[in-house]
Structure 1
Amino acid sequence: MEETNAFSETVIQQLQQALLAWYRAHHRDLPWRREVSAYRTWVSEIMLQQTRVEAVIPYFERFLHVLPTLADLAVADDALLHKLWEGLGYYSRVRNMKKCAEVCVERYGGRLPSSYEELCRLPGIGPYTAGAIASIAGQERVAAVDGNVLRVFSRILANREDIVKEVTKKHYRQYVSAFLPEAADAGDFNQAIMELGAMVCSPNGAPSCAQCPVAAWCRAHAQGTEQEFPVRSAKKARRIEEHTVLVLVDQGRIALQQRPAKGLLAGLHGFAMSDERWERQQVEARYPHARNIVELHPHTHVFSHVEWHMNAFLVEERDPLASYHSLEEIEENMAIPTAFRPFYEAARTWIRMKGATDDTR
């Protein structure tokens, strides 16, 4: 491999030793690192996808408290899974985890395998997640290449391949594999690269090269070109969609409806929503007998490929076709997606304020 041939065996060993020593002295104390298992590593890695570490910690602890084993996950009700995942987004991740758990109960007696090859054959587990579990929990000498690793190694190698391309990610699994230490240290090495990318070799602004344990071997640092890496092609512009959200309330309860089984926020609970922007007059025409119509603050929710630009109205009316739920029932049992959360919070505040006003009459 031309990209790594310029690094002698001695240099690779020096880089390994420096990185491992830095990690063992400076890594963050995280709950999934205190007690390591294939299941705990898997749960943490899925939660950490597109979510900050600080935000994940309470979710991880609650999830493991309620579902301490893979067998517990396999039989969990979808409503419970959605509630445990509420706020993390990308709910298909936790549904795919349940499918994977069901397969593991059938094939592996209720345990998650720790070998890379077996993990890659399971639903919902790709090369990165398999590499993380296999190296961290299974002490297998295998690379785990995520966005942090791509950034760090693109700078170490001064590699200008487009990291958005799948073929580039395959190349990087080969590059990183050439730097891996022996199997017993592979998990720490993979975590060290991820930690370095999160804490030092950062994505926003200039990296903190003065604090980097491997700066002496970094080609981009030697060239003064750190911020030119990684190279990534421009993202396709997101599609903009206009919607109007209608929050129906009646006697202190809020109407929720389950979304279709396919599409964005599939199977989750939300509010009635039009596929166009409505003005107040249109809402009044649809609900001529409403006791109150309150315009709520608009909200924009960004998905990976589309943006929902939503205006919203709270409508106080008893609709015989709607399914109303108390605040207690919603808080305990029903997950409200982040896209709709501002409107739910506004409705909850309105209900409580109205209740307080009624009590003083």
Structure 2
Amino acid sequence: MSPKVSALDMPDVPMGQLPEHLHLQRTRVVCKADAPIHTEGIQYSGAYASIGVDNSVGVDSFCENFKVKLVRLTNDEIEFDMIGIDASLANAFRRILIAEVPTMAIEKVLMVNNTSVVADEVLAHRLGLIPLNADPRLFEYLSENDAPNERNTIVYKLDVSCKKGSPRVTVKSDQLKWLPHGSELQMDSHDISAKAKSYTSFSCIQDSLPEFSKKPLGVQFDDIIIAKLGPGQAIELEAHAVKGIGKIHAKWSPVATAWYRMLPEVSLLKEVTGDVAEKLVKKCPVNVFDIEDLGNGGKKAVVANPRACTLCRECIRGVTEELVELRRIKDHFIFTIESTGALSPEELFVEAVKILEDKCDRVISELS
């Protein structure tokens, strides 16, 4: 066994400060040519007590070090940096975004007529995956004991046909029409004297409500192909959308993707000049390195864009293996959210934070 290193063995390192190799092990994942090292997180609060470094995690230190930096924002996608958190927390946000932030999706399809080549079950599945332009925060969940009403259900109608002798018809998502007054279909009744009931129990028209009158409850994308009809074929149906979450079915997931990666850190261990510098720049497929002109024909390789590193490891294979070190910063995450359209990507992250906050409140209340 190797001897333990104490603070007395390192007189050049002041108390309360980690030596360079321990600081690297604590804060970086070093990516070697075969496999990464220092991947484990050092969680024990007294891990560096012998040299006067407190490794504990506290609320005050977390609030002081935690930062969020916006990098890129579009209508459908957001990229931002989360600094000062553990990978478990970043992964919690990812899982909540995928599985626990609610959206509206078509759950029930009442098929009136379908003579297309697409089977009823396949057609219903396709309809369920169409992103709806409806804010889920304005709706309530529909439980088994609840009746579908204007607060928990959106009704759409699809009625398309292709006449005989006509060219084929492409049925797209923009042909789904919102029915603000609820279902137009009547339930079958065995009692002749009883009045036929609708499949929904709307007490008022949805577009008369202030929250729904500003924006129609349509679909997010108008050009999604649902089916193709040949001459004489037709589709007539009614689709009911309800609120749900991704852990029940993927159609309720509000994100096309939500992922994160540790911030890359590319370090040149020695000065790389001449032909070796040229080889290093050519090795990288994403232009992480660049050439700096030293004058008089001299050239030097520099790290120009470390954030673009994809960890392909081409730069640490071959003649440049001893010149470059690839690292990942353990507490700095590049987070990307791509929305399906019901909520903007920045709103999705806010909703994920609220859900995580509710989870923490429940744990605290149970413990107390």
Provide TM-score, normalisation by structure 1. Answer: 0.22
Point out the structure with the larger helix share. 1
